[in-house]
Amino acid sequence: MLKISRRSIIASGLGATLAGCANAPIIGGRTIGSTKAYGFGALKPLDLSIENLSTITVCTRPFRAAGPRLEAATVNGKTIVHNYGHGGSGWSLAWGYAGNARDLVAAGRPKSVAVLGAGAIGLTTAIAIAETGAKVTIFARELPMESRSARATGVWSPSSRIGLGAAVNADFPARWEALARRSYARHLSYVGRAGDPVEFTPRFYVRSQTREPPLIDPPAEGDDFLHLGRRLRGMEPPWSERNGSPFRSDAGVRGGLVMTFNIAEYARQMTDDFLAVGGRIERADIASMADLARLPGDVVVNCAGYDARTLAGDTSLVPVRGQIAWMPPQTDRLYGVFYRNVMALSRRDGLLIQETGGNDYYGFGDGDETPDKDEFLAALAKIAPIFNWG
Ligand SMILES: Cc1cc2nc3c(=O)[nH]c(=O)nc-3n(C[C@H](O)[C@H](O)[C@H](O)COP(=O)(O)OP(=O)(O)OC[C@H]3O[C@@H](n4cnc5c(N)ncnc54)[C@H](O)[C@@H]3O)c2cc1C
């Protein structure tokens, strides 16, 4: 019935699964065998008391079967470069696509550029173009921390819902790999900065002897989502079996380090970086492609995310719903755990609880951004018991 959930979670170790995106990147299979590397002895249990719930957010992944749209078009004589549709991988791949969008824009040698959108894609694209010396203005209805990007899990998950195998071009995997590697390198340049916008924190995949059924079945013909993480093998710290774990489970635990985006701080530093290279940000609500083409700038870049479906009439964009319940940060215990298809991730800017549903079809085609408290309660009931120690 289900071709992916178990296999891809275990094989990949859960970078993307913890991202709330059921297919994960990479994860080498090398066994270290040390329990000290992740300091189980010092590990404090996450406090998932229900009273800690501060809010529930819902976000829509902008999925395109053919992969993200990155191309130049002409509208009313103006060059529009489209850069949207990054599914569950927008944060991860942002810098890679930003570089390619910059190259498309630079072909016209513009002096001024308008970027629509201040999410992960708009911000990175605007910075990359501004670094070439062009005068760049971001126009956006929602500023960075108001955008859907602010409601993401915040982990390195470059092949999460990035396309369907049958719909992408034959050269997509190779192009994707180059983009992912370039993006990863730029994320790395934020590691160690004050405020820790990007950092590596431990993840644990806690197994159970009872197979957790997925909340939704994939189509009868099977799962066709691209899972390209293995192409990046060797880039990330390896995962291994972890003995002596305190997690209350009847099976083993695998652990590793995963690149984590503390989105509040990352978005702030990106905004500062953009302003520092002379960028400007203006609030604007663009109603049509004709209005988009009228934005001041020799070239306009469309980074509208899922909203490109309405703005650009791109009906190939499919919404993929994802919900996160937030608790206040617990910064003395920064790690993530995946158990029974639920992820609990303690980030510097919040503790997240997320039901991943067990496969990539969870939330597929669902554009409803209304919070569902019952989903959170069910997820909490599944994962909270493993922290009963200490
Ligand atoms: C639950 C969940 C968890 C996720 N976790 C991860 C993760 O851990 N790692 C990862 O890599 N990816 C993750 N993703 C995917 C990632 O969040 C998206 O791919 C990414 O946010 C898309 O960014 P964007 O900039 O294209 O779109 P958005 O963040 O939606 O930004 C769009 C911008 O365009 C503006 N805009 C749109 N239309 C108009 C208009 N007409 N006029 C004016 N402004 C307009 C908006 O106001 C906004 O500023 C997750 C997604 C979900 C749903």
List pLDDT tens digits, range 45-86: 999 999 999 999 999 999 999 999 999 999 999 999 999 999
Using 50, 70 and 90 to split pLDDT, how confident is the model at 25?
very low
The crossing angle, in degrees rounded to 10, of helices 172-188 and 90-106 is 100
Helix/strand/coil for 188: helix
How far are the Cα atoms of 64, 92, 122 from residue 85, in angstroms, in the given order?
6, 13, 12
User: What distances in angstroms separate CA 101 from CA 115, 170, 282, one per listed residue?
Assistant: 11, 21, 21
Tell me, in angstroms, the distance from the centre of ligand 1 to residue 28's CA: 29
Identify the bridge partners of residue 314 per DSSP, sorted by sequence position: none
From ligand 1's centre to the CA of 135, what distance in Å? 24
Mean of pLDDT over the chain: 90
Note the pTM of the prediction, 2 decimals. 0.92
In angstroms, rounded to a whole number, what is the distance separating the alpha carbons of residues 387 and 361?
28
Percent of the chain with pLDDT over 70: 89
Cα–Cα dist 17/366, whole Å = 19
Residue 336 CA to residue 351 CA, distance in Å, equals 9
Query: Who has greater pLDDT, 297 or 12?
Result: 297
Q: Closest Cα to atom 1, ligand 1: which residue?
A: 322
List pocket residues of ligand 1, CB cut-off 6 Å.
19-21, 59-62, 84, 86-92, 116-122, 140-142, 147-149, 152-155, 157, 284-286, 303-307, 311, 322, 324
Return the C-alpha torsion angle 350, 20, 207, 230, nearest 10: -120
Nearest residue CA, atom 41 of ligand 1? 286
In this prediction, residue 9 carries a pLDDT of 37
| Ligand 1 pocket: which of 81, 86, 261, 282 to mutate (most atoms within 8 A of CB) | 86
pLDDT of residue 236: 83
For the CA of 59, the closest atom of ligand 1 is 53
Q: Are 38 and 200 in contact (CB under 8 A)?
A: no
Mean pLDDT value of segment 144-172 = 97
Length of the chain: 390
CA-nearest residue, atom 21 of ligand 1: 149
Please check the confidence at residue 251 and state whether its pLDDT lies above 60.
yes
Residue 222, pLDDT score: 74
The Å distance, Cα 96 to ligand 1 centre, comes to: 16
User: In the predicted model, is pLDDT for residue 40 greater than 90?
Assistant: no
Residue 345 Cα, ligand 1 centroid: separation in angstroms? 20
pLDDT digits (tens, 9 = 90+) for 212-246: 999 999 888 877 999 999 999 888 889 999 988 99
- Residue nearest atom 35 in ligand 1 by C-alpha distance: 117
**Span 360-382, average pLDDT:** 98
Give the residue ranges of DSSP H helices in the chain: 5-12, 15-18, 90-106, 120-130, 172-188, 263-276, 289-294, 308-311, 373-383
Supply the residue whose CA is at minimum distance from atom 12 of ligand 1.
Answer: 89
CB neighbour list of residue 74: distance below 8 Å, 6 or more residues apart:
80
Q: What are phi and psi of 255, to 5 degrees?
A: -140, 160
Q: Residue 39: which pLDDT band, with cuts at 50, 70 and 90?
A: low
pLDDT band at 38 (very low <50, low <70, confident <90, very high): low
**Which pLDDT tens digit goes with each residue over 101-154?**
999 999 999 999 999 999 999 999 999 999 999 999 999 999 999 999 999 999
Q: Are 209 and 250 in contact (CB under 8 A)?
A: yes
Tell me the mean pLDDT in the region 278-299: 98
Rounded to the nearest 10°, the torsion over CA 194, 198, 201, 204 is 160
For a mutational test of ligand 1's pocket, the pick from 81, 307, 356, 368, i.e. the residue with the most ligand atoms closer than 8 A to its C-beta, is: 307
Which residue CA neighbors atom 14 of ligand 1 most closely?
88
Question: Which residue has a Cα nearest atom 19 of ligand 1?
Answer: 90
**CB crowding 68-91: b at 16 or more within 10 Å, else e:** bbbeeeebeebbbbbbbbbbbbbb
Q: Which atom of ligand 1 sits closest to the CA of residue 122?
A: 25
Instruction: Answer whether residue 362 shows pLDDT above 80.
Output: yes
With residue 78 as reference, give the H or E element that holds it. Answer: strand 78-84
Residues 6+ apart with CB under 8 A from 2: 214, 217, 218, 223, 358, 359
Q: Which tokens in the block code for residue 11?
A: 């094989």
Q: Judge whether 91 and 267 are in contact, CB under 8 Å.
A: no
